[in-house]
């Protein structure tokens, strides 16, 4: 297979760009490096497209490898034909390849294999011819007490088993029936008697077409089945399917044809349908899992890229009841200044004593923000903090942060290494404070599955989930950049080309001698030339060469010198911020001319200019800052029609959850997000977006809040803006095109028969 041609078509790329991407991946280059520093070779593909490309390349190579293994096996058996070779070459999925291999696999003992051992294969061949000859008379020839064939009836039954297995092993038939099941089959559920079954009441008598069932419902049904609360099956028109098979295998009305018809029906009910049903369920689960993983990816990216609260002294509060609220104060660099415990929550309710302690810490360290975890006792802690600020006239604000995974970090080996003298609760308080100071640096210390965004993450294939989410973390870390002299080993390990071992060596090196320039990295143990090439552009050094504090790769430093010379500037001008009109000078001379003079492509020139204009820039600084509060509302304060500002906390298939400052997130159903039709909430919203919502309803008993963002119902509100970047829009178009190209045509039963006849030519 020519992978570059095939992938170029699938990803709507030029063939040479596709070939370049494959070559770069095969040469050991990382996705962040390729996306950022090889734009001319890839047509400026972004990291998300490159990861999809890499996944697809891996699949195609595995498919070819498996097809070769199958071809070798069939050839070794002496059964390879031109027809099989052509079919195998045309197989586009692993399932199709395995269908072709099915008749040649070493099977466990089956009814058909037992019959074949008894010498009944010639009888099966005779029956399949469906002549007018007397089948019983022919069957008598195969009676053998020695072989266990006591009668003609038993001989015919054995031959029918052989015929049934041949029908079942028909690769084209299975492929077509599988497609038909996807088109017209229904997923059906029945509630079982189980103490946990009430959770799945909505599936008590549920049925939905497979072609229309949403991914999150498939995962819910699977979980109910796993917990033995649901009996799940696929329902189709069995008679129509059997009739379609008969149209291929049954030639006439003879006695032999009747045996073939019965054997074909047996093949369908006993062999084909149970097997294909499993395959369809597996494919549904695989697609649903990929969608859930995609949603996790969509939510995780903006969560990691939340703007940091730079230059703030933050007090972290880890709420609790009986054991008290753990407190940690950190400075603007994340260093711990103080810790304590207060008891403002039940059962102690030492509110006044707790307030005095916190006010003393606030004044002592100049705290400007309080970060409150959203776990147990969060509501009571938030009420206490809001009242303390109000009653004492404090010039301070607070934010409630998602503490998911904080306990995992605090009990981890990493947490113990970072704070060996702290107990787990103190570490949690530090983590909660740091999540406001620098979300990315703190969240990467936690198993991403524990961060608390997405759906059904614990039901996902673990290896695939870790692969995808690890890629998201890597992309985020490298897009922001990392301070070489201050970053934690955890953060450094996600830089392109580095790993945990090299990260530890970097920390060891800088403890003895801080890095003065990027080239010093080559002095670090285990860090060779290839690793340096991959990581250097993503690492920052403050206070040295100004280029070392930008995203300009060292390989492009000569190009920078030529660019500055061509535009009449110097590195000193860059450091002093005196190159404001550099773009105008480039435009005047012509960017193509400049690029040629510098010996690089136009995309690289554009990236260099962006970096030179803002050395040390943080891409997160341009994003909306987190909402800081000094007061709060209670659930009971919410009234229908009330308009409130909020922050999107989670995006799921059927809507988004929005934090509106009442401890309980409200749900904006997908139907309430926009006046216009949207296919998915992620088309217009992402985690961290600041939105205005209107209260539709409040259930104080179930603690559920229904919200709307429809502008027609928000006369004073704001329209929901599509905040996708050009890159995301392009990717959306590619996804839509690929889905459209792969869309399955709905077939009637008559059309199925016709299609089968055309495929088999009989």
- How far the first Cα of the chain sits from its last, in Å, is 31
Domain end call among 72, 104, 136:
104
Nearby residues of 45 by Cβ (< 8 Å), 6 or more positions away: 13, 17, 21, 34, 35, 39, 53
**Domain count of the fold of the chain:** 3
Q: Residue 648: inside a domain, yes or no? A: yes
Distance CA 452, CA 470 (A): 15
Cβ proximity of 538 and 496 under 8 Å = yes
Cβ proximity of 384 and 345 under 8 Å = yes
Which ranges of the chain have pLDDT less than 50? 713-730, 733-734, 736-747, 759, 761-762
CATH number where 431 lies: 3.30.420.140
Residue 298 has a pLDDT of: 83
Residue 661 has a pLDDT of: 73
Domain end call among 84, 104, 124:
104
679 phi/psi in degrees, rounded to 5? -80, -35
Q: Residue 702: inside a domain, yes or no? A: yes
Edge to edge, the sheet with strand 336-342 lists 336-342, 325-330, 314-318, 369-373, 397-401
Tokens of 654: 């059927």
Residue 726 has a pLDDT of: 39
Burial class (CB in 10 A: 0-12, 13-18, 19+), 351: middle
Please, which residues bridge with residue 720 across strands? none
CATH number where 699 lies: 2.40.50.140
Distance CA 630, CA 251 (A): 82
SS3 37: helix
Q: Residue 427: inside a domain, yes or no? A: yes
Distance CA 712, CA 519 (A): 58
Angle at 451 between CA 446 and CA 453, to 5 degrees: 155
Domain carrying residue 96: 3-104
This prediction's pTM: 0.77
Q: Residue 174: inside a domain, yes or no? A: no
Domain end call among 452, 473, 494:
473
Cis peptide before 725 (omega within 30 of 0): no
Residue 376 has a pLDDT of: 84
Please report where in the chains the tokens 């607070």 appear, as a residue. Answer: 398
Nearby residues of 305 by Cβ (< 8 Å), 6 or more positions away: 439, 440, 476, 479, 480, 619, 620, 623, 688
Distance CA 329, CA 315 (A): 4
Edge to edge, the sheet with strand 186-191 lists 205-209, 186-191, 230-235
Residue 417 has a pLDDT of: 86
Residue 575 has a pLDDT of: 92
CATH number where 28 lies: 1.10.10.650
Please, which residues bridge with residue 302 across strands? none
Q: Residue 709: inside a domain, yes or no? A: yes
Q: Residue 538: inside a domain, yes or no? A: no
Residue 627 has a pLDDT of: 66
Q: Specify the pairing of strand 336-342 against strand 369-373.
A: unpaired
Number of other CB atoms surrounding residue 255 within 10 Å: 16
Tokens of 261: 């018809």
Q: Residue 650: inside a domain, yes or no? A: yes
Cβ proximity of 519 and 554 under 8 Å = yes
Percent of the chain with pLDDT over 90: 64
Tokens of 413: 């080996």
Q: Residue 354: inside a domain, yes or no? A: yes
Distance CA 44, CA 726 (A): 12
């Amino acid at each position: 297979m020519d992978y570059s041609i095939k992938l170029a078509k699938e990803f709507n790329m030029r063939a040479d760009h596709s070939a370049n991407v494959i070559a770069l991946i095969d040469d050991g280059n990382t996705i962040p490096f390729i996306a950022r520093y090889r734009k001319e070779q890839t047509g400026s593909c972004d990291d998300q497209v490159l990861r999809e490309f890499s996944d697809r390349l891996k699949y195609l190579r595995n498919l070819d490898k498996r097809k070769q293994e199958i071809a070798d096996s069939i050839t070794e058996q002496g059964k390879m034909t031109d027809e099989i070779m052509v079919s195998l070459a045309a197989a586009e999925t692993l399932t199709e390849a395995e269908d072709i291999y099915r008749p040649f696999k070493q099977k466990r003992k089956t009814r058909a294999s037992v019959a074949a051992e008894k010498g009944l294969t010639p009888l099966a061949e005779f029956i399949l011819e469906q002549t007018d000859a007397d089948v019983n008379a022919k069957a008598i020839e195969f009676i053998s007490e020695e072989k266990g064939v006591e009668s003609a009836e038993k001989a015919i039954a054995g031959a029918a088993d052989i015929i049934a297995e041949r029908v079942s092993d028909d690769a084209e038939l299975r492929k077509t029936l599988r497609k038909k099941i996807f088109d017209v089959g229904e997923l059906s559920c029945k509630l079982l008697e189980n103490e946990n079954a009430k959770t799945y009441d909505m599936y008590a008598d549920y049925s939905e077409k497979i072609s229309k069932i949403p991914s999150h419902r498939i995962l819910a049904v699977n979980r109910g089945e796993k917990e033995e609360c649901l009996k799940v099956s696929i329902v189709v028109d069995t008679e129509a399917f059997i009739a379609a098979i008969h149209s291929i295998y049954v030639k006439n009305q003879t006695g032999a044809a009747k045996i073939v018809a019965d054997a074909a029906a047996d093949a369908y009910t006993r062999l084909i349908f149970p097997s294909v049903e499993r395959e369809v369920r597996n494919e549904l689960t695989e697609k649903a899992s990929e969608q859930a993983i995609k949603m996790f990816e969509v939510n995780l990216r903006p969560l990691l890229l939340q703007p940091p609260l730079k230059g703030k002294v933050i007090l972290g509060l880890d709420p609790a009841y009986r054991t008290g609220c753990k407190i940690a104060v950190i400075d603007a660099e994340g260093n711990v200044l103080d810790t304590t415990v207060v008891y403002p929550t039940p059962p102690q309710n030492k509110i006044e004593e707790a307030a005095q302690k916190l006010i003393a810490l606030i004044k002592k360290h100049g705290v400007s923000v309080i970060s409150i975890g959203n776990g147990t006792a969060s509501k009571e802690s938030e009420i206490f903090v809001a009242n303390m600020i109000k009653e004492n006239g404090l010039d301070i604000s607070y934010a409630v942060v998602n503490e998911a995974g904080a306990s995992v970090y605090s009990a981890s080996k990493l947490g113990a290494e970072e704070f060996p003298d702290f107990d787990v609760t103190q570490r949690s308080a530090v983590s909660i404070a740091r999540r406001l100071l620098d979300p990315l640096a703190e969240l990467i210390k936690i198993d991403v599955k524990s961060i608390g965004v997405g759906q059904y993450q614990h039901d996902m294939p673990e290896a695939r989930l870790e692969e995808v989410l690890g890629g998201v973390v890597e992309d985020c870390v490298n897009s922001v950049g990392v301070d070489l002299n201050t970053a934690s080993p955890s953060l450094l390990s996600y830089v392109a080309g580095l790993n945990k071992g090299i990260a530890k060596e970097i920390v060891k090196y800088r403890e003895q001698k801080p890095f003065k320039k990027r080239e010093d990295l080559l002095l670090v143990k285990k860090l060779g030339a290839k690793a340096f090439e991959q990581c250097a552009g993503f690492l920052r050094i403050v206070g040295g060469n100004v280029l070392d504090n930008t995203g300009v790769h060292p390989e492009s430093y000569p190009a920078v010198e030529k660019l500055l010379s061509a535009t009449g500037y110097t590195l000193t001008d860059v450091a002093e911020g005196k190159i404001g009109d550099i773009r105008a000078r480039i435009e005047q001379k012509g960017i193509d001319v400049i690029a040629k003079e510098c010996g690089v492509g136009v995309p690289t020139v554009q990236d260099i200019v962006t970096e030179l204009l803002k050395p040390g820039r943080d891409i997160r600084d341009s994003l909306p800052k987190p909402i800081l509060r000094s007061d709060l509302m209670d659930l009971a304060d919410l009234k229908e029609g009330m308009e409130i500002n909020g922050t999107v906390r989670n995006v799921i298939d059927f809507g988004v959850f929005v934090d509106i400052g009442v401890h309980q997130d409200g749900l904006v159903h997908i139907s309430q997000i926009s006046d216009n039709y949207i296919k998915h909430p992620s088309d217009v919203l992402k985690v961290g977006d600041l939105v205005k919502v209107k209260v539709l309803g409040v259930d104080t008993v179930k603690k559920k809040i229904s919200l709307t963002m429809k502008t027609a119902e928000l006369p004073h509100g704001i329209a929901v803006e599509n905040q996708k970047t050009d890159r995301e829009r392009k990717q959306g178009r590619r996804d839509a095109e690929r889905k459209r190209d792969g869309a399955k045509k709905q077939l009637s039963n008559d059309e199925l028969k016709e299609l089968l006849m055309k495929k088999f030519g009989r």
